[in-house]
Chains A and B, each alone.
Chain A
Amino acid sequence: MTKLNTFEQAVETYEPVLGLETHIELDTRTKMFCGCATAFGAEPNTQVCPVCLALPGALPVANRAAIEATIKIGLALNCTIASWTRFARKNYFYPDMPKNFQTSQYEEPLCEDGYVEVVVDGEVHRVEIERVHLEEDTGKTLHVGGTTGRIHGATESLVDYNRAGIPLVEIVTRPVPGTGALAPEVARAYTAELRDIVRSLGVSDVRMEQGSLRCDVNLSLNKPGEEWGTRTETKNVNSLRSVERAVRYEVRRQSALLDAGERIFQETRHFHEATGETSPGRSKEEATDYRYFPEPDLAVMEPSREWVEELRASLPELPRKRRERLQAAWALGDKDMQSVVNADAVDLIEATVAAGAAPAGAVKWWLGELSRRANESGAELTALAIDPAQVAELQAMVDDGRLNDKLARQVIDGVLAGEGSPAEVAQKRGLEVVSDTGALETAVDEAIAANPAVADKIRGGTHAAAGVLIGAVMKATKGQADAGAVRQIILDKLS
């Protein structure tokens, strides 16, 4: 295999063109075409009926709430809502798809022609939405007998149809050219924005780790001024970080191949979380022919203008508006707010402020110490084992003078290690600031006795010399003394 280029080399020579297809599971109470419940984590094959098991004779009926949710997503993405739309059958065989066709939409999606704007590095990038359509999810297959639990090497598989038929919204962008070296960040920012929009609508919990938001990343490269290259489609990229990494990897891989004079095959690739690499899917001996045709078992849909306007009026505050409001409330500059958004910390900070912390403190913790911890462990900020209430509690302890910054960082160690709330950690680890004046006075007396020359200097009016004594006291109290209080005691005693 050709050696990868560095990303920087790659984007010097080539211009990436991005494309993103996102699948979002709606959190309706029932499935798309039947009344089965949709609870996550139910016992296998307990949320299944004749319709979603595709028993002979069963027929689908569309879930109104899923249609409404899709229209809301379309509206939030600035799409046009179709006045005439219908479902179509996408025919192909797969064991986790009970009918061996997927009820989807083909030429007449519910929503078309929208856009999302994302800001990366102070630049606005407009990502155009080609279509938003509604379809159904598949069941889940457990691979048995292999070493990895993956399909490769498995001797047999076990299928659970609980997830089969859960409404799935597919959002497809138009190709996004012109992002250059920012392609990975734009892909990530788009996905995050989409997630935040859908979450704000309350139509999906959009949890990437549970698979309720799944991304396919399309990428091609071309030299400036030349036509767009052949694209690859990387499937199942299931975290924001992975979206960024998958784009970065494909840019590096494809550019190396192009440099070597090789061609890119239009193919499906798989992203590997552990290595950050992509690998080709099985090449099919014959091109897939989905034989789409209009679903005769479902009526066509004609969303009335009144209905659409009613849904538009019901839209909540969208993330962009919300960010503007929060930025003002938190008194942050554009650049700081952008850092908050890029760190995916808006929700976290809002919750921290709601739990009683001052905005500046909340921003400081999440963007500073906690972001650093997340980076170190390669995790998302939201995945850290500390929650906004705990951060607010930590900040309150600092505000009360019970912790200083250095101690607070040690408390974070304990919280992340699962030792309990900040107060519990501080107590267990004995990290409280010593503010007991009796104890401090004793320590100061000891420091004065041990440093008579310094004490004389201070008595002589050189207050700056107090630092030496403060240092001695801090050392004696293992950093737990309140430096301000110590200084005051020293000056009181020596003036």
Chain B
Amino acid sequence: MSTISREEVAHLARLARLEVTDDELDAFAGQLDVILQSMKTLAEVDTDGVQPTSHAVPLVNVFREDQPQPSLPRDAVLAGGPDTAEDRFRVPRILDEEA
């Protein structure tokens, strides 16, 4: 039985903001299914009471003092922008948040 449907892949692609093509959907659904089957072997492992590892090396309380450092020059900030105007990054219209 397949573990992941084409519709699920489409939903994930939307969550990840990927405008995937139909061909890609078909290919990814098949490939991800193979990969996920192998991942399912993890279910065999008894992990009761095991703490998850989120960091390779456990460090605690790593802080920075509240001392200002120089920011980038604005030219450098904006230089990489695909489109800028009025010293800001220009983007196309954003879908309505308000009705």
Contact = CB atoms under 8 A, between A and B. Distances in A.
Given A44-B88, A159-B88, A62 B66 contact: no
Interface string B48-71: 000010110011111111111111
A48 B94 contact: no
Interface stretch (A110-118, A150-158, A367-375, A438-446): A150-158
B98 A48 contact: no
A62 B89 CA distance: 26
A163 to B, nearest CB: 12
Given A158-B88, A300-B55, A30 B98 contact: no
Contacts of A151: 94, 96-98
Q: Contact residue range for chain A?
A: 35 or more
Given A158-B89, A280-B99, A296-B55, A286 B14 contact: yes
B48 to A, nearest CB: 19
A211 B90 CA distance: 23
A28 interface: yes
Interface string A39-57: 0000111111110010100
Given A93-B17, A159-B89, A296-B54, A64 B64 contact: yes
A155 B17 CA distance: 21
Given A49-B69, A289-B15, A142 B63 contact: no
B62 A156 contact: no
Contacts of A451: none
A486 B65 CA distance: 69
Contacts, number: 146
Q: Contact residue range for chain B?
A: 35 or more
A158 B92 CA distance: 9
Contact of A298 (B62, B91, B94, B95): B62
Given A46-B74, A302-B60, A35 B69 contact: yes
A70 B93 CA distance: 36
Nearest to B57: A299
Contact of A45 (B61, B66, B74, B93): B74
B68 A30 contact: yes
Interface of A: 28-30, 34-37, 43-50, 53, 55, 61-67, 86, 93, 95, 141-143, 145, 150-152, 154-161, 270, 279-282, 286, 289, 291, 293-294, 296, 298-303
9 contacts: A30-B69, A34-B69, A35-B70, A43-B74, A48-B74, A62-B64, A152-B96, A157-B93, A300-B54
Interface of B: 11, 14-15, 17, 52, 54-55, 58-72, 74, 77-78, 80, 85-99
